[in-house]
């Protein structure tokens, strides 16, 4: 039952085609049967004889309908169990794990699910010779206080030879609320050897001291290298009410703001402030210029005593709206609209393709 229901869920398109074929064949049988001439009834017969003839016609009609329904069920079942890679419950991991899915030559091949021997889900997706290959989802098994276990999604995306490789989505499994309907999104982007590389978005969460609730406190979007922010990126900070309170846009090195960038924040004395200049390990360093909200410079970092006008020209008030409100794909979007994940991957692949031209 598990294998059948899961196969139906995963192979919906294939089963839909089988279903359509079954309906088509049954429809033809039904039309031929139902349109075939019925047992003729002579209008001159007495009433008792007419009732007998009507009864015979009714039996014949119900028989044709029954045969049509049987044909539909037969075609669907035959089609389901006849396609290559029928779902099985097999021991392909030598008793170490349970497996439900497609097999070939005694190994997991195609789509399937891998469980612990206590029936906790570990992985669902594509296999090649017992190895994760293709699209799939990886789960962590969390022991509960009542002695049971719960599988929590850890990563979903693409796998190559058992490793997380390609565009995907990772989720928090730490400090989790088991009553939540969906997990909190941790990161999304391109992965290489299990860590973000090239491009990605990382979501940070904090706990509000007043309400004790968890809120999105910062988001990084940009370049990655070997699991660290390296290159160009944008880091935004939010308060517990979801309001943008600070944003840095510029260079990153080894996970820190380092290089040249624009940093917008609220200063207690000067109000809304925008800094344009050099940054090292998340701190302002010379040279750089501080501007108020009207674009007027009020402070300059100039340890080398360079010409101030040259510095202002080199680090002008930014033209772009660094305070612009952004809409990130959030975990609730993905939960209710899973197709957005495929769209995000397509956007990334298109961007890579266009950059290579």
Q: What is the pLDDT of residue 156?
A: 96
Q: What is the pLDDT of residue 130?
A: 95
Q: What is the pLDDT of residue 282?
A: 95
CA distances (Å), 241 to each of 28, 99, 142, 263, 319, in order?
62, 45, 31, 21, 28
Q: What is the pLDDT of residue 182?
A: 75
Tokens of 234: 């944008």
**Rounded to an integer, what distance in angstroms lies between the CA atom of residue 3 and that of residue 317?**
62
**Rounded to an integer, what distance in angstroms lies between the CA atom of residue 196 and that of residue 39?**
74
Residue 188 CA neighbour count, 13 Å, CB half: 17
As averages over each run of 10 residues, the pLDDT of the chain (357 residues) reads 38 48 56 55 64 68 70 62 51 88 93 94 96 96 86 95 96 77 88 96 92 91 97 96 94 97 90 95 97 93 94 93 78 79 91 72
What are the φ/ψ torsions at residue 219 (nearest 5 degrees)? -140, 130
141 touches 150 (CB < 8 A): yes
DSSP class of 79: H
What are the φ/ψ torsions at residue 320 (nearest 5 degrees)? -70, 155
Q: Where do the structural domains in the chain lie, given as residue ranges? A: 2-82
What are the φ/ψ torsions at residue 160 (nearest 5 degrees)? -135, 120
What contacts 312, CB < 8 A, 6 or more positions away?
289, 297, 300
Whole-model pTM: value is 0.73
User: Which residue reads 């360079």 in tokens?
Assistant: 306
Grouping H, G, I as helix, E, B as strand and the rest as coil, residue 29 is helix
């Amino acid at each position: 039952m598990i294998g059948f229901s899961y196969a139906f869920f995963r192979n919906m398109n294939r089963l839909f085609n089988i279903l359509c074929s079954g309906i088509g064949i049954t429809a033809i049988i039904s039309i031929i049967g139902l349109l075939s001439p019925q047992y003729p009834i002579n209008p001159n017969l007495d009433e008792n004889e007419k009732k007998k003839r009507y009864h015979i016609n009714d039996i014949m009609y119900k028989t044709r309908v029954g045969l049509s329904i049987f044909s539909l069920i037969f075609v669907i079942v035959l089609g389901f169990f006849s396609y290559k890679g029928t779902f099985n419950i097999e021991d392909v991991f030598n008793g170490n794990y349970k497996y439900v899915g497609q097999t070939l030559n005694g190994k997991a091949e195609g789509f399937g699910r891998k469980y612990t021997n206590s029936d906790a889900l570990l992985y669902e997706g594509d296999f090649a010779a017992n190895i994760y290959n293709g699209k799939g989802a990886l789960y962590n098994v969390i022991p509960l206080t009542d002695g049971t276990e719960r599988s929590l999604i850890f990563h979903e995306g693409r796998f190559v030879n058992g490793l997380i490789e390609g565009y995907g989505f990772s989720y928090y499994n730490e400090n989790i609320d088991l009553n939540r309907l969906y997990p909190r999104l941790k990161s999304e982007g391109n992965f290489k050897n299990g860590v973000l590389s090239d491009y990605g978005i990382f979501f940070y969460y904090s706990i509000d001291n007043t309400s004790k609730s968890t809120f999105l406190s910062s988001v990084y979007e940009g370049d990655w290298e070997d699991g660290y922010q390296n290159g160009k990126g944008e880091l935004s900070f939010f308060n517990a009410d979801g309001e943008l309170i600070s944003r840095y846009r510029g260079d990153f090195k080894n996970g820190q703001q380092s290089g040249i960038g624009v940093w917008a924040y609220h200063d207690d004395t000067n109000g809304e402030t925008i800094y344009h200049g050099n940054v090292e390990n998340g701190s302002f360093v010379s040279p750089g210029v501080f501007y108020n909200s009207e674009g007027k410079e009020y402070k300059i970092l100039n340890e080398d005593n360079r010409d101030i006008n040259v510095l202002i020209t080199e680090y002008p008030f930014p033209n772009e709206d660094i305070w612009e409100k952004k809409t990130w794909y959030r975990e609730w979007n993905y939960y209710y609209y899973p197709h957005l994940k495929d769209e995000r991957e397509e956007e990334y692949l298109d961007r890579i393709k266009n950059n290579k031209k």
